[in-house]
Amino acid sequence: MAAFWQQRGRRQESGGLGAVLDGLGSVFDVLLANARLVLGVSGAAVLAIATLAVKRLIDRATSPRDEGDPKAEQKSLEESWQDLALIKTTPKPPKKQRREDLSEPLLSPARPLVPDPRGSSAPLGAPQVKPSPLRCLTLQEKLLSHSSQLAVPEIQVSLVPQLARSICTQLQNFLRSKCPELPFGRLFLSGALLDGLEVLAADHIHLMLPVVLDAGLWGLISGEDTVVRNPQYWMIKRIDLGYFPRGCSPWDRFMVGRYLSSSVINQTLHKLLVASINWPAIGGLLGCAIHPVVASRELKLEVKHDQIDLSITLFPVVEMEDKVLLAVPPEGLVENLWLESFYRAEVSRVKELDAGDAGARQLCLRILSGVCKRQPSLHKLGGSPLTHIILHLSDTASDWAEESLADRFQQLLEELVASLEKGVLPCYFNPKINLFSGLLEEEIDEMGFVLYRAISEPEVLLK
């Protein structure tokens, strides 16, 4: 009987509490039904999630559980925490915007971020790396850095001479078989690449064809004593015709008047290069395409390889009385002039000076050559004029160590501007020769303007 009353008492308690809870449930149902109209979609969703959690708590509280089962109590406790977490993590509905808020900017101005010395995301014990302050490079450092960018790719350094020598051998064999009566010397290569002075790209090389003359039949006359009045040119005159008439020298057929004509020799070789040599067959043998340049006063070959494009220029050369003369006549009606070349003496003297004091003249020459190669307005200044400027400055400036590279570079710019202002750059080996004589006044003005601006800021030439 006692058990019966105890069970009845429980039913009454649960019945009273259930009535109250049923009333609350009906209120929740009414709220949920009208929540969409009052709160909108997002507000109704939030209220629904919260109501579901509360209903689970109420159901769990009213449902009978086994008092002796600890697992059931633990499970009920865990479900309660989950429901509470569900209520806490439910996103709040967006606050309704007021009218006065519409006049405020959407984005507030950015505030500078002030690092908090107390807060640090780095783990304890980790070494803190301090950012190094920015440092401006000196002209000396910029020049050394720039010089490292001027190096010719190794593939070109090795492939260009090899390919040029192969073409040289084929041309030599052809001349011996086609013109056995002409005493041509052995062809050889020349140029800045072979002397370690080439920059940026090995895209050109010179092929020298010696013209062997009998010193007893030919003599030299300075261009200063001719109508051109230019000491840089020479004429090669046939002598002793009374004792050795025409025909005694195999080169008599190339004379105009009594002088060996550089133009006639060039024209003859040009015809051979263009019309007589089977360049497609030679190119196929060497693994490249070779094309003679037809519309050119120079004797040029264009070579296209898988890895390089190369231009080869052929120069007939005469060596007499310690002079090196190239078959490069000036433009005009004069056909018998030969241009004196100082390239061999220039390179030899610069290397000799550097070897004597461990100087950086060659490095300075390479940097200036790279500048002139990149600047279209300075193209005609590259080569021989730069070498002669360095040689002239070497007579007055004694410190050419690499540590003084910036000072010497600055001085060279000043010397170039001074020479361009005068329009005169004397040849180091013959002061009578003006190396600027072949330049137009407009070209001199443009080069002088570019270099004059660079005196105050030499770095602009390195960009």
pLDDT at position 134 is 54
Q: Does 297 lie in the same domain as 257? A: yes
Q: Does 219 lie in the same domain as 333? A: yes
What b/e sequence results for 130-155 when a residue is b if at least 16 CB atoms lie within 10 Å of its CB, and e otherwise? eeeeeeeeebeebbbebbeebebeee
pLDDT at position 253 is 96
Average pLDDT on 451-455 reads 95
pLDDT at position 32 is 54
Model confidence at 20, pLDDT cuts 50, 70, 90, reads: very low
Instruction: List, for residues 273-289, the tens digit of each pLDDT value.
Output: 999 999 999 999 999 99
Q: Does 361 lie in the same domain as 310? A: no
Q: Does 402 lie in the same domain as 439? A: yes
Q: Does 419 lie in the same domain as 379? A: yes
Q: What is the mean pLDDT of the chain?
A: 82
pLDDT at position 105 is 43
Q: Does 319 lie in the same domain as 171? A: yes
pLDDT at position 227 is 83
Q: Does 332 lie in the same domain as 392? A: no
Among the candidates 341, 366, 392, a domain finishes at 341
Among the candidates 279, 311, 341, a domain finishes at 341
pLDDT at position 228 is 85
Domain contains 112: no
Q: Does 305 lie in the same domain as 235? A: yes
Least confident segment among 91-100, 248-257, 258-267, 349-358? 91-100
Among the candidates 326, 341, 356, a domain finishes at 341
Average pLDDT on 78-104 reads 45
CA 433, chain centre distance (Å):
37
Q: Could you tell me if 197 and 204 are in contact, meaning their C-beta atoms sit under 8 angstroms apart?
A: no
Is the per-residue pLDDT at 291 higher than 50?
A: yes
Instruction: List, for residues 106-159, the tens digit of each pLDDT value.
Output: 344 444 444 444 444 444 555 555 555 556 789 999 999 999 999 999 999 999
Is the per-residue pLDDT at 369 higher than 90?
A: yes
The total domain count for the chain is 2
Sign, CA dihedral 84-88-89-93, equals positive
CATH number, position 384: 1.10.1410.40
The domain containing residue 433 runs over which residues? 343-460
Domain contains 110: no
Model confidence at 43, pLDDT cuts 50, 70, 90, reads: low
Average pLDDT on 240-256 reads 94
Domain contains 453: yes
Q: Does 436 lie in the same domain as 296? A: no
pLDDT at position 110 is 43
Instruction: List, for residues 152-197, the tens digit of each pLDDT value.
Output: 999 999 999 999 999 999 999 999 999 999 999 999 999 999 999 9
CATH number, position 301: 3.30.460.90
pLDDT at position 5 is 39
Is the per-residue pLDDT at 54 higher than 70?
A: no
Average pLDDT on 85-99 reads 45
Domain contains 401: yes
Q: Does 267 lie in the same domain as 314? A: yes
pLDDT at position 11 is 42
